[in-house]
C-alpha cells in the first residue's frame, strides 16, 4: 500500500531504480514488476486476444506522483507516447495537495443496453405495454448472468423512449459491479429479444450497450489555494484568473472545447490504457457527454470559492472495469491496478477522473501563462539531438541545452554532441 505518493527526486533516478522504488511503495512482487520490463504480454497471450496477431506494440508507462484522491495516496501508472503529460499530472497533483487533494465520487456501475424496436403498430401503445411488463423483463434479465447477480449486480430498471421518427428504444439499466460490463449487458439485451417482440408485436433489430454511459458518471473536485499557483514572475491570483479565462473560452467555443477536452483525455486515456480498459469506449462517452446539451462544450469547469481558491470540477461517464477483458489477462494492466491499490471499478473511475482534471489544469495553466511551446520545443530538440547521433542521457542533455540557449537547430545539436561535458538540469518544476 502506498504510504505517500510524494516521491521527490523520482525523476532523477535511473529507470531500474524508479521501478524498484515503485515496487517498494506498492508491494508489487518482482515478478509482477517484470511485466513492465518485458512488455507484460507475450505474443502467445496476444494471439488469444485479437485476430491475425503478428506480434506486440509497445508504449512507455510512466508513474505520476503526488496524487491524493479521497484522502488516499495513490501512484498513477500512465501509458502514453506524448511528453509532458506525466510531468503535468504530477505538477497538478502536487498543487492540488495543498488544498487537500482530489475529492471524487461516482455513480453505481450501471450500464445501458439498448434495444431498437421497429414495425410496431403504435409506438406509444408499445411503450406502455413494455412499461406494464417491466417486472417480467427485469426478472428475465436477471437470469442471464448468474455471476454478476451473485456479486450484487444485475438489472435495475427498464426505460422506454420513442425517437422522433417513431422508433421505440428500450434501455435496460444493468449494474455491472466491477466489470466494464459490455458482455453482460449485450447478452442480457440479446436474450430479451423474443420477450420484447412478444410484448410489442414489433421486430427487435439492434441490441447493444450504449457508450454514452450517463448512469455511470464519475466526478472529481480540486481546490487549489491561489498562493500555490504562483511561479516564476506570475503571482497566484494572476494565474488563477488566467486559468478561469481559459476555461471560459472552452465553455463558449466548441473548437476550443475539443482541444480543452483532449487535454483531459490525455490523462484519462493514459490510465484507462494502463489498466487494460477500452479507451475508445471512454472517448466516445466523453465527447457525447460534452455535447449533451446540444452544443459541444467543456467537460470541466474552473472558478473560485469565497476564499479565492481556484476550484476545478469534472464529471464524465467512466465505464471502466477491474475484472474481465484485458484488465485481468494483461500482466502490465494487473500490475498497474496493484500500484494504485484499486479495490473496485468505482474507485478506479474516481481516480481516472481526478487524473483527467489534473491534466486539464496542467494544460490550461501552461497555456494561460508561459505557453506550451517551451515543452514542445524540448521535444523537437530531443529529436534533433537524436538526429545528431546522441544516445541515452546525452539526448536530454543536448536538448535541454539547446532549449536554454534558444538555439534549437541541427547544427547546434551536432556541435553539442561533440562536446557534452557539463551537466544540464531538466525542468523539474513538478517535483
Cβ-based neighbours of 134, under 8 Å, separated by 6 or more:
158
Asked whether position 6 contacts ligand MEV by CB under 6 A, the answer is no
Judged by CB under 6 A, which of 260, 287, 382, 397 binds ligand MEV? 260
Q: Is 72 in the active site?
A: no
Asked whether position 257 contacts ligand MEV by CB under 6 A, the answer is no
Which residue number has the CB closest to ligand MEV? 263
Asked whether position 365 contacts ligand MEV by CB under 6 A, the answer is no
Choose the binding region for ligand MEV from 16-24, 257-265, 337-345, 386-394 (rule: CB under 6 A): 257-265
Asked whether position 299 contacts ligand MEV by CB under 6 A, the answer is no
Distance (Å, whole) CA 417 – CA 404: 16
Judged by CB under 6 A, which of 364, 381, 384, 413 binds ligand MEV? 364
**390 has which bridge partners?**
none
Q: Is 233 in the active site?
A: no
Distance (Å, whole) CA 1 – CA 127: 51
Give the nearest distance from C-beta 377 to ligand MEV in angstroms.
14
Confirm if 322 and 31 have CB atoms less than 8 A apart: no
Judged by CB under 6 A, which of 6, 242, 262, 380 binds ligand MEV? 262
Contact letters (x/-) for ligand MEV, 73-112, by CB under 6 A? ---------x------------------------------
CA-nearest of 31, 154, 33, 7 to 90 is 7
Residue of 82, 139, 405, 411 marked active site: 82
Q: Is 278 in the active site?
A: yes
Confirm if 245 and 368 have CB atoms less than 8 A apart: yes
CA-nearest of 312, 311, 259, 248 to 287 is 259
Cβ-based neighbours of 63, under 8 Å, separated by 6 or more:
10, 18, 22, 75, 76, 77, 78, 86, 339
Count of all residues that appear for the chain in the document: 431
Asked whether position 287 contacts ligand MEV by CB under 6 A, the answer is no
Number of residues forming the site for ligand MEV (CB under 6 A) = 10
Judged by CB under 6 A, which of 372, 379, 420, 424 binds ligand MEV? 372
Residue of 157, 190, 214, 262 marked active site: 262
Judged by CB under 6 A, which of 42, 58, 259, 373 binds ligand MEV? 259
Judged by CB under 6 A, which of 65, 90, 210, 266 binds ligand MEV? 266
Distance (Å, whole) CA 127 – CA 310: 47
Asked whether position 334 contacts ligand MEV by CB under 6 A, the answer is no
Asked whether position 18 contacts ligand MEV by CB under 6 A, the answer is no
β-strands 61-69, 72-79 pairing: antiparallel
Choose the binding region for ligand MEV from 46-54, 70-78, 255-263, 291-299 (rule: CB under 6 A): 255-263
Tell me whether residue 90 or residue 401 sits nearer to ligand MEV (CB atom).
90
Rg (alpha carbons) of the chain, rounded to whole number? 24
Asked whether position 380 contacts ligand MEV by CB under 6 A, the answer is no
Tell me whether residue 85 or residue 115 sits nearer to ligand MEV (CB atom).
85
Q: Cα 275 to chain center, whole Å?
A: 10
Choose the binding region for ligand MEV from 99-107, 205-213, 344-352, 361-369 (rule: CB under 6 A): 361-369
Q: How many CB atoms lie within 10 A of CB 304?
A: 15
CA-nearest of 62, 104, 68 to 85 is 62
Tell me whether residue 154 or residue 267 sits nearer to ligand MEV (CB atom).
267
Alpha-carbon dihedral angle through residues 121, 127, 132, 133, given to the nearest 10 degrees: 80
Residue of 108, 376, 393, 411 marked active site: 376
Which DSSP helix (H) or strand (E) runs through 90? Answer: helix 85-97
Asked whether position 248 contacts ligand MEV by CB under 6 A, the answer is no
Distance (Å, whole) CA 310 – CA 119: 54
Catalytic residues: 82, 262, 278, 376
- For ligand MEV, the binding residues (CB under 6 A) are 82, 259-260, 262-263, 266, 363-364, 367, 372
Amino acid at each position: 500500500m502506498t504510504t505517500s505518493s510524494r516521491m521527490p527526486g523520482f525523476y532523477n533516478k535511473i529507470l531500474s531504480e524508479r521501478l524498484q522504488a515503485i515496487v517498494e511503495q506498492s508491494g508489487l512482487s518482482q515478478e509482477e514488476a517484470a511485466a513492465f520490463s518485458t512488455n507484460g504480454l507475450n505474443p502467445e497471450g496476444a494471439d488469444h486476444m485479437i485476430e491475425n496477431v503478428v506480434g506486440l506494440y509497445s508504449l512507455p508507462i510512466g508513474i505520476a506522483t503526488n496524487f491524493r484522491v479521497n484522502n488516499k495516496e495513490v501512484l498513477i501508472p500512465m501509458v502514453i507516447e506524448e511528453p509532458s503529460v506525466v510531468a503535468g499530472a504530477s505538477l497538478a497533483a502536487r498543487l492540488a495537495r495543498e488544498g487537500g487533494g482530489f475529492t471524487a465520487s461516482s455513480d453505481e456501475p450501471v450500464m445501458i443496453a439498448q434495444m431498437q424496436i421497429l414495425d410496431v403498430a403504435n409506438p406509444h401503445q408499445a411503450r406502455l405495454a413494455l412499461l406494464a411488463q417491466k417486472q417480467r423483463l427485469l426478472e428475465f434479465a436477471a437470469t442471464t448472468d448468474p455471476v454478476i447477480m451473485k456479486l450484487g449486480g444485475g438489472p435495475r430498471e427498464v426505460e422506454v423512449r420513442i425517437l422522433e421518427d417513431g422508433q421505440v428504444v428500450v434501455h435496460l439499466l444493468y449494474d455491472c459491479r466491477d466489470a466494464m460490463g459490455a458482455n453482460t449487458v449485450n447478452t442480457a439485451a440479446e436474450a430479451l429479444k423474443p420477450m420484447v417482440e412478444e410484448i410489442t408485436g414489433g421486430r427487435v433489430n439492434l441490441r447493444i450497450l450504449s457508450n454514452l454511459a450517463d448512469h455511470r458518471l464519475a466526478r472529481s473536485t480540486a481546490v487549489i489555494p491561489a498562493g500555490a499557483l504562483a511561479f516564476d514572475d506570475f503571482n497566484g491570483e494572476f494565474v488563477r484568473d488566467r486559468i478561469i479565462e481559459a476555461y471560459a473560452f472552452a465553455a463558449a467555443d466548441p473548437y476550443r472545447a475539443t482541444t480543452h477536452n483532449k487535454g483531459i483525455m490525455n490523462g484519462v486515456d493514459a490510465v484507462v490504457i494502463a489498466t487494460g480498459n477500452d479507451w475508445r469506449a471512454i472517448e466516445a462517452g466523453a465527447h457525447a457527454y460534452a455535447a449533451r446539451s446540444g452544443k459541444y462544450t467543456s467537460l470541466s469547469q474552473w472558478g473560485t470559492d469565497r476564499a479565492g481558491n481556484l476550484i476545478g470540477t469534472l464529471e464524465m461517464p467512466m465505464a471502466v472495469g477491474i475484472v474481465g477483458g484485458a484488465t485481468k489477462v494483461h500482466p502490465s494492466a494487473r500490475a498497474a491496478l496493484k500500484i494504485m491499490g484499486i479495490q473496485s471499478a468505482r474507485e478506479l473511475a474516481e481516480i481516472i477522473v481526478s487524473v483527467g482534471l489534473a491534466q486539464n489544469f496542467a494544460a490550461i495553466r501552461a497555456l494561460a501563462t508561459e505557453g506550451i511551446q517551451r515543452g514542445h520545443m524540448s521535444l523537437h530538440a530531443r529529436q534533433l539531438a537524436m538526429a545528431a547521433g546522441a544516445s541515452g542521457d546525452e539526448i536530454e542533455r543536448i536538448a535541454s541545452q539547446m532549449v536554454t540557449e534558444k538555439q534549437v537547430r541541427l547544427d547546434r545539436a551536432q556541435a553539442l554532441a561533440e562536446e557534452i561535458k557539463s551537466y544540464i538540469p531538466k525542468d523539474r518544476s513538478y517535483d
